Amino acid sequence: MKKAAAIGNVIFIYLAALLPLLLFANGKNAFITGIWEHFFSNNVFIPLFLLLIFGVVMYIINIVLFLEVRRKRFTALELARTGMIVKLIQIPAYLFIFVMGLLCMVMIFTMGITFIFVLLDLFSTGMTGVYASAVFYQLRKERFIPVKTQICGVLASFVFCADVIAAIAGYRICVRGGKMCDGSSEKL
């Protein structure tokens, strides 16, 4: 389940980044034009709808993963490492979507596309935020962090850009590990 959630979270944002590429290359490339005509009937809402369906499925998978973590199926280290890797792999897609959004803001006719990019980014950040909630829950459960740090980490995981920092911090806490929340140096 952990791998399915991690791979699905990465695939979602890269599919979201592929959507504007397909949209703007339509009519300029025979292969892409064929995809639009044969699979999507030249309708941009079809791939967007399919992407949102995939996103909902990924949200469900992330929620199921969170419930599995509550039953102690994974260690904090493996969850934190996977969460950090997912966040770092997603950075190029987020940068591409950001640049495309800036370019779409230049023309008044494409401002709606920028709004769609923002919604897809928020959707993806929320999806990976659910995953990060499982990470910080497990960190707390294994007594790597106190409750206040767990709350701050979970909240930061739902904020754009702060989520990457929170993922790296969660992993660093696991690697550094060895200290209990009460400050004793007993190994876990």
What pLDDT is attached to residue 89? 94
140 three-class SS: helix
Q: Are 76 and 99 in contact (CB under 8 A)?
A: no
Closest CA to 12 of 114, 121, 95: 121
Can you list the residues of the chain whose pLDDT is less than 70?
178-188
What pLDDT is attached to residue 24? 79
Q: Are 157 and 136 in contact (CB under 8 A)?
A: yes
What pLDDT is attached to residue 188? 40
Closest CA to 177 of 145, 141, 136: 145
What pLDDT is attached to residue 102? 85
- 162: amino acid identity, one letter: A
Tell me the pTM.
0.82
User: Phi and psi at residue 128, in whole multiples of 5°?
Assistant: -75, -20
Closest CA to 135 of 178, 188, 76: 76
What pLDDT is attached to residue 187? 42
